[in-house]
A and B are shown apart, each in its own frame.
Chain A
Amino acid sequence: MKTQHLILIKTLCSQYNIEISFVDSLNKIGLIQIEVVDQNQFIHQDQIGNLEKMIRLHNELNVNLEGIDVVFNLLEKERALRNELNTLKNRLRLYEND
């Protein structure tokens, strides 16, 4: 399997100064997906942005794993609502400046 876009978890942990157990826990709770290739654990680089956010929430705001899950769900809902608001604003323009 190609590992071109995959980042080794060990490297990642040393880079961010985080414990492997933290990444494991994020994986268990379903916040990130770990891929195993040749008995090595990897994470796809697309998930790095979200992972960084989780680390920041954990380290800077003392948010625990369950809290991170809640925050991510709410942020996702907020994103969907913002998109809906944008669509509605665009629709509203139909009735403006007639």
Chain B
Amino acid sequence: MTFLDYYKILGISKTATEKEIKSAYRKLARKYHPDLNPDNKDAEKKFKEINEANEVLSNPENRKKYDQYGKDWKHAEEFEKAKQQQQTQNKYSRQGFSGEGQSEQDFSDYFESMFGGARSSSRQRSSTKFKGQDFNAELHLNLKDVYEPHQQILTVNNNKIRLTIPAGVENGQVIKIKGKGGKGLNGGPNGDLFIKFKINNHTQFKRAGNNLYANVDLDLYTSILGGEMNINTFKGKVKLKIKPETQNQSKIKLKGKGFPIYKKEGSFGDLIITFNIKTPTNLSDKEIEIFRELKKLR
């Protein structure tokens, strides 16, 4: 159960005039309105509180009740109810006033208990929507899952939605599934479903946009003399020619071996390989001798 100090929420004194309440509400509403703060849960919560405070305090009758009961509103309300019922229905006992049936809603318990019915009907009246409510969901996938178009079945409000996720979806990307949100009112279009992707990467590759990055260890001799080696790409191994005198941390780009480009079938980014040259360890005496000879030549 939460008690909200509506005066504090609106930043006004208990003696504030209607005009001051309205002005404080408008100022805060402009700051925290959900349309101006997309994807901001804190702002949404704050806006609900501001709205609730305004709905109570801007109505003189409701404000009076609120001022009267203050922090102990719940007991006062129960007491009032009990007293009324005792007066009119003496045959009933007090057990009906436990208040256990109250559930946690977006609005505080006080608001629900005191103005619940009236508020919800007025709210419904003012917020009659043509389009249904938009839904937001988060979908966790692995990088491998989004390398190719991915089939997924989602359950939204007990409705199964078969989804084909295009290859190349990015971490944090949001896609809109039209008409899969809440039902429209009075024959209006349904809301949309917004899916935010969280892509987990457990591969050896790092991804930036459509490009993939990988580090490859290269032995000293191949780096000096050149040669061939098999390296892993996302789709399998490829044979790579190593140029003689390849430097440590040098990069090569494998065109088209990166990640699929979103909604461009058959197009891929690049794979960028960084070479880490590994110098030999545990050298034999003969190897050390040869390296000394080499050193003399430089």
Chain A interfacial positions (CB closer than 8 Å to B): 7, 12, 15-16, 45, 48-49, 52-53, 56-57, 60-62, 71, 75, 78-79, 86-87, 89-91, 93-94
Q: Is B207 an interface residue (CB 8 A)?
A: yes
Q: Taking the complex as formed, is B44 at the interface, i.e. its CB lies under 8 A from any CB of chain A?
A: no
Say yes or no: B33 contacts A61, CB within 8 Å.
yes
Our pick among B26, B36, B171 for the contact of A90 (Cβ within 8 Å) is B171
Inter-chain CA distance A32–B36, complex, in Å, is 18
A-B Cβ contacts below 8 A, count: 63
> Which B186-214 residues have C-beta < 8 A from chain A?
186, 188-189, 192, 201, 206-209, 213
Complex CA gap A79/B26 in Å reads 25
User: What is the distance, in angstroms, from B132's C-beta to the closest C-beta of chain A?
Assistant: 10
Please give me the 8 A-B residue pairs with the lowest Cβ-Cβ distance, nearest first. Answer: A86-B172, A91-B208, A48-B131, A45-B189, A94-B206, A15-B130, A53-B35, A61-B30
Which residues of B are interface residues toward A (Cβ below 8 A)?
26, 29-30, 33, 35-36, 38, 128-131, 134, 170-173, 186, 188-189, 192, 201, 206-209, 213
Bound-state CA distance A52–B35 (Å) is: 10
Question: In the bound complex, do residue A52 and residue B36 qualify as a contact, i.e. CB atoms below 8 Å apart?
Answer: no
Name which residue of chain A comes closest to B192, CB basis: A49
Taking CB atoms, residues of chain B closer than 8 Å to A53 are 35
CB distance from B61 to the nearest CB of A (A): 23
With a cutoff of 8 Å between Cβ atoms, the chain A residues found around residue B192 in the complex are 49
Instruction: Output the nearest chain B residue to A72 by Cβ-Cβ distance.
Output: B35
- Checking A45, A75, A94 against B208 with a beta-carbon cut-off of 8 angstroms, the contacting residue is A94
Residues of B within 8 A of A16 (CB): 128, 130
Looking at chain A's contact residues, is the secondary structure mostly helix, strand, loop, or mixed?
helix
- Is B206 touching A60 in the complex (CB atoms < 8 A)? no
| A91 vs B176: C-alpha distance when bound (angstroms) | 24
CA distance A81 to B35 in the complex (A): 17
Could you say which residues of chain B place their CB within 8 Å of the CB of A71?
Answer: 35-36
Least distance between B19 CB and chain A CB atoms (Å): 14
A57 contact set on B, CB distance < 8 A: 33, 35-36
Which residue among A15, A62, A86 has the maximum number of chain B CB atoms within 10 Å of its CB? A15
What are 16 A-B pairs with beta-carbon distances under 8 A? A7-B188, A48-B130, A48-B188, A52-B129, A52-B130, A56-B33, A57-B36, A60-B29, A61-B26, A61-B29, A61-B33, A75-B36, A86-B170, A86-B171, A87-B170, A94-B208
What is the CB-to-nearest-CB distance from B43 to chain A, in angstroms, rounded to a whole number?
A: 13
Interfacial chain B residues near A79, Cβ < 8 Å: 38
